Amino acid sequence: MIKKSLIIFIVLFISYNLFIIHVKPETITQDNWHKNRIQAQEYLYNDNKPIAIAIAGTSLSAGLFGNLLPENTYNLAMGGQSTIDGLEIVKNKNRKPDILLIEINFIYTERSAQFLDNLFLPGLYMARKIFPALRDKYRASSIAETTLSSIKQHLYKYLNKYISDSKATSSVKLENKKKMKNKFDAVQIKKENAVKVIPALFEMNLNRMVHLSEAIPPEKIITNKKKILTDYKNYFERFGVQIILFEMPVHEKLVHSKKATHIRKMMFEIFPPDRFRYILPDNAAKFNTTDGIHLTPHSMMNYTLFLTNNLNKIRLPRYNID
């Protein structure tokens, strides 16, 4: 039984790897952490496109609209992760970006040890390079789902062609199907743009954030954080990476909180404004949030444009666009 099971496993594993290499199937993310791991692994393993700008941040900047950012920008800001996680990932890739954008809002959020350890586990790191089946992008159930969906679409197209060729009365059914599909798409678009903000919950979340923002971390933690950030600064400067710091807009009540003011002061100490560029939001009132810190989709779009415009004004060094 053991031998048979192992043989079946090996056959499945090799076939799956070959399928991925040759078919290059689309994937679907199953949850936030799956998405984060895919994002991090794609950055590490995909050398096809040079990355000119890398963004390290938290869930605040994870929603930046990729298609509105400058070309060859890779957003390593991930929901539930910290800015330090992004910095560590950039540090561990041999090829460094030209520019590193660092979000400063929640700079005190600790690195996710488990996330990074799993990413950089020595044997697994190399194995993922050789066997794409081991990467989260090619999770078997995700690929099965997208493959089945793709087969369904091809079948639908084939049936559509067959039916329209034969002039059957079922063209009415097809019209209905199209209508249903359009309705579904419309619902999807509406869903993406809709923001479920319940006033009572918004107030509760905002008050919680205001309360948390009134406390400055203990001296020991501040010293430790300064050291960590200084080490990263020195490391990236050695490789000629240009560091630009940015702050995501948050609710007005949080902009001048004790913690936010302290963070700005600390960052100015480590990354002096006469040597490093800062992109700070000019007017927090212009932006709306869902919970005091995360921007609504419309505000996120506006902020992405604001960030891109500011990046353009800084006159970034030219880089190759493939």
Partner 1 sequence: MVPLPIGISFYTFQGISLLVDTFASDKVDKYKFLVHKSFFRHSLNTALFISFFPQLVAGPIVKAHDFIPQIKEKALKDVDWESCFRALVLGYFLKMVIADNLKEQTFWILFPYFQNLSTVALLVMLFGYSMQIFADFAGYSLIAIGVARLMGYNINENFNFPYISKTFSEFWTRWHISLSSFLKEYLYFPLGGNRINKTRTYLNLMIVMFLGGLWHGAAWSYAVWGSFHGFALVSERFLRGRINLPDTMPINFLKMTVVFIFVTFAWLLFKLPEFSHVMNYMEAIVRNANMPLSSDLFLIKYNLLYSLPVCIYHLYYLYTKNGTPKTLKNLQPVIFGLMLFLIISNSGSPASFVYFQF
* Partners of 245 in beta bridges: 102, 278
Q: How large is the angle between the packed helices 140-166 and 171-193, nearest 10 degrees?
A: 140
Q: Which one of residues 4, 95, 220, 315 is an interface residue with partner 1 (CB under 8 A)?
A: 4
**Site for partner 1 (CB under 8 A): how many residues?**
36
Query: How many other CB atoms are found less than 10 A from the CB of residue 281?
Result: 18
CB of 10 to partner 1, least distance (A): 8
Span near partner 1 by CB under 8 A; candidates 87-95, 135-143, 230-238, 274-282? 135-143
CB nearer to partner 1: pick between 49 and 183: 183
Site residues for partner 1, 58-117, by CB under 8 A, read: 114-115
Q: Does 8 sit near partner 1 (CB under 8 A)?
A: yes
Cα–Cα nearest to 53, from 235, 261, 319: 319
**Burial (Cβ within 10 Å: 0-12, 13-18, ≥19) of residue 2:** exposed
Q: How large is the angle between the packed helices 297-313 and 171-193, nearest 10 degrees?
A: 70
Q: Does 205 sit near partner 1 (CB under 8 A)?
A: yes
- Residue 86 CA to residue 79 CA, distance in Å, equals 11
Q: Does 294 sit near partner 1 (CB under 8 A)?
A: no
Q: Does 2 sit near partner 1 (CB under 8 A)?
A: yes
Site residues for partner 1, 206-235, by CB under 8 A, read: 208
CB nearer to partner 1: pick between 23 and 305: 23
Does residue 111 sit in helix, strand or coil? coil
CB nearer to partner 1: pick between 16 and 120: 16
Span near partner 1 by CB under 8 A; candidates 51-59, 200-208, 216-224, 226-234? 200-208
Q: Which one of residues 21, 180, 189, 201 is an interface residue with partner 1 (CB under 8 A)?
A: 201
CB of 117 to partner 1, least distance (A): 9
Q: How large is the angle between the packed helices 219-238 and 258-270, nearest 10 degrees?
A: 40
* Partners of 40 in beta bridges: none
CB nearer to partner 1: pick between 128 and 225: 128
Instruction: Output phi, psi for 278, to 5 deg.
Output: -120, 135
Q: Which one of residues 18, 148, 189, 204 is an interface residue with partner 1 (CB under 8 A)?
A: 204
Instruction: Annotate each residue in 138-167 with x if it binds partner 1 (CB under 8 A) or - if it does not, as one string.
Output: xxxx--------------------------
- Residue 168 CA to residue 174 CA, distance in Å, equals 10
Q: Does 118 sit near partner 1 (CB under 8 A)?
A: yes
CB of 270 to partner 1, least distance (A): 31
Beta-strand relationship, 73-75 and 242-246: unpaired
Q: Does 191 sit near partner 1 (CB under 8 A)?
A: yes
Give the number of C-alpha atoms closer than 13 A to the C-alpha of residue 49, restricted to the C-beta side: 12
Q: Does 34 sit near partner 1 (CB under 8 A)?
A: yes
Q: Does 137 sit near partner 1 (CB under 8 A)?
A: no
Span near partner 1 by CB under 8 A; candidates 204-212, 237-245, 259-267, 313-321? 204-212
What's the Cα-to-Cα distance from 126 to each of 37, 97, 123, 134, 309, rounded to whole Å?
16, 22, 5, 10, 39
Token pair in block for residue 105: 């809002």
Cα–Cα nearest to 254, from 281, 276, 277: 281
Q: Does 31 sit near partner 1 (CB under 8 A)?
A: yes
Binding residues (CB under 8 A) for partner 1: these are: 1-2, 4-9, 11-13, 16, 30-34, 37, 114-115, 118, 133-134, 138-141, 187, 191, 194, 196, 198, 201, 204-205, 208
